Amino acid sequence: MRTTLTIDSDVEQLLRREMQRTNRSMEAVVNDALRAGLGMQGKPPRARRFKVEPHDFGFKPGVDVDGLNQLTDEMETEEIARKLAQ
- The pLDDT averaged over each successive group of 10 residues in the chain (86 residues) is 91 95 94 86 79 86 83 92 91
CA distances to 15, 47, 48, 54 from 51, in Å: 30, 12, 9, 10
| Whole-angstrom distance, CA of residue 30 vs CA of residue 15 | 8
Q: Are 56 and 49 in contact (CB under 8 A)?
A: no
SS3 assignment, position 34: helix
Predicted pLDDT at 26: 94
Q: Is the pTM of this model over 0.85?
A: no
Other Cβ atoms closer than 10 A to 19: 16
Where do the domains of the chain lie? 9-39
SS3 assignment, position 36: helix
